[in-house]
């Protein structure tokens, strides 16, 4: 059977950073030619919007597919949709996400070799902030074959407040960002800021991108030219630093037409264009 799955599970628990449990999904067909590990972005999760349809798209194109919730994304193992645990969300930090994507890649490699008896490439795809995490991890991880940044960020420090706003954050110990969809006031503890400076070299996306270019690891930046959340100029910067091409989806926004909830069985047209470009890149 062509699409027989050697590994097939959803919402299995794994231990993430600081010992916090989270969930992941793995589907690896018997005939898989490679496996994709997908990292969601800020205020996201593995089952957001059209991400499950993305999984179906790549499975139908012969890939294994892995998606997971970062442990401090605000979800819980009991309720992984949206953000029931704002305390955990506030405690998140970039180093946690780097640690977890590294760990997932290592475990996927073990599974395809030990449990599936296969030796096939692993690729990473990250959306938005997850694109930055994928770039950082992919630049250093020897098991990552190709990297795709989907509307990915090009730097971290510019996203922090400055001046009086930064001082208020330090004094108060927390600042809040409104989630326009859920209307939640989502906290960021000052530890988020401190963690960046503690791990500044580890979290330098430009340096990681330049390293990707130097070692000539295949990299693709896909960006919509109407992205209001992460400017296409960030995609242009990443393509320049890596010495690779930028795939521009004309008229596309940050989520390529997808939204939460996504009630259609069909991919948004812009997202389909993005995934088709990624498929072609990964099969080169």
Helices (H), 184-268: 191-198, 205-215, 232-242
In angstroms, what CA-CA distances link 79 with 32, 47, 162, 175, 265? 31, 12, 35, 24, 23
Helices (H), 70-162: 86-91, 94-110, 129-140
For the chain, the domain total comes to 1
Query: Reading across the β-sheet that carries 144-150, which strands appear in turn?
Result: 5-15, 21-29, 63-68, 34-39, 122-127, 144-150, 219-224, 246-249
Quick check: 201 and 211 in contact, CB under 8 A? no
Query: Do the domain assignments include residue 186?
Result: no
Nearest CA to 74 out of 44, 40, 119 is that of: 44
pLDDT tens-digit map of 62-94: 999 999 999 999 999 999 999 999 999 999 999
Query: Do the domain assignments include residue 194?
Result: no
| pLDDT for res 210 | 98
- Chain centre distance of CA 113: 24
pLDDT tens-digit map of 146-180: 999 999 999 999 999 999 999 999 999 999 999 99
Nearest CA to 67 out of 43, 41, 40 is that of: 40
| pLDDT band, very low/low/confident/very high, at 2 (cuts 50, 70, 90) | low
Percentage, residues of the chain above pLDDT 90: 99
Structure tokens at 27: 């589907």
Report helix, strand or coil for 88. Answer: helix
Does the pTM exceed 0.95? yes
Query: Do the domain assignments include residue 249?
Result: yes
Query: In CATH, what number is assigned to the domain containing residue 244?
Result: 3.40.50.1820
Query: Do the domain assignments include residue 266?
Result: yes
In SS3 terms, 179-204 reads as: CCCCCCEEEEECHHHHHHHHCCCCCC
Query: Do the domain assignments include residue 188?
Result: no
Quick check: 225 and 251 in contact, CB under 8 A? yes
In angstroms, what CA-CA distances link 176 with 89, 158, 159, 184, 223? 11, 17, 14, 9, 28
Residues 6+ apart with CB under 8 A from 237: 154, 206, 209
Q: Report the mean per-residue pLDDT for the chain.
A: 97
Residue 247: what are its φ and ψ, rounded to 5°? Answer: -95, 115
DSSP conformation class of 122:
E
Give the mean model confidence (pLDDT) for residues 18-33.
Answer: 98
Q: Is the dihedral of CA 59, 62, 68, 70 positive or negative?
A: negative
Give the mean model confidence (pLDDT) for residues 26-48.
Answer: 98
Query: Do the domain assignments include residue 177?
Result: no
| pLDDT band, very low/low/confident/very high, at 1 (cuts 50, 70, 90) | very low
| pLDDT for res 226 | 98
Percentage, residues of the chain above pLDDT 70: 99
| pLDDT for res 23 | 98
* Helices (runs of H) and strands (runs of E) counted in the chain: 9, 10
Structure tokens at 31: 């005939």
Query: Do the domain assignments include residue 175?
Result: no
Q: Could you list the residue range(s) of the whole structural domain that residue 247 is in? A: 5-156+200-282
| pLDDT for res 18 | 98
Query: Do the domain assignments include residue 115?
Result: yes
Would the pLDDT of 3 be above 80? no
DSSP conformation class of 38:
E
């Amino acid at each position: 059977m062509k699409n027989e799955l050697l590994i097939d599970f959803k919402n299995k628990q794994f231990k993430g950073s600081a010992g916090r449990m989270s969930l992941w999904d793995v589907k690896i067909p018997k005939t898989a030619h490679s496996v994709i590990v997908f990292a969601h972005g800020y205020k996201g999760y593995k089952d957001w919007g059209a991400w499950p349809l993305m999984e179906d798209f790549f499975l139908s194109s012969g890939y294994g597919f892995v998606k997971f919730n970062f442990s401090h994304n605000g979800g819980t193992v009991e309720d992984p949709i949206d953000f029931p645990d704002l305390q955990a969300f506030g405690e998140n930090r970039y180093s946690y996400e780097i640690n977890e994507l590294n760990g997932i890649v290592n475990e996927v490699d073990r599974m395809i070799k030990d449990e599936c008896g296969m030796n096939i490439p692993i690729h990473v795809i990250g959306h938005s902030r997850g694109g930055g995490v994928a770039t950082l991890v992919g630049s250093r991880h020897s098991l990552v074959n190709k990297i795709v940044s989907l509307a990915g960020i090009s730097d971290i420090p510019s996203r922090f407040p400055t001046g009086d706003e930064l001082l208020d954050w330090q004094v108060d110990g927390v600042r809040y960002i409104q989630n326009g969809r859920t209307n939640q006031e989502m906290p960021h503890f000052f530890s988020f800021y401190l963690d960046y400076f503690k791990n500044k070299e580890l979290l330098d996306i430009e340096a990681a991108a330049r390293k990707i270019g130097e070692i000539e690891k295949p990299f693709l930046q896909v960006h919509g030219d109407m992205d209001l959340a992460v400017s296409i100029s960030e995609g242009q910067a990443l393509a320049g630093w890596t010495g690779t091409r930028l795939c521009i989806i004309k008229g596309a926004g940050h989520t390529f037409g997808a939204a939460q909830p996504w009630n259609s069985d069909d991919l948004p047209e812009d997202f389909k264009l993005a995934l088709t470009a990624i498929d072609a890149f990964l099969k080169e």
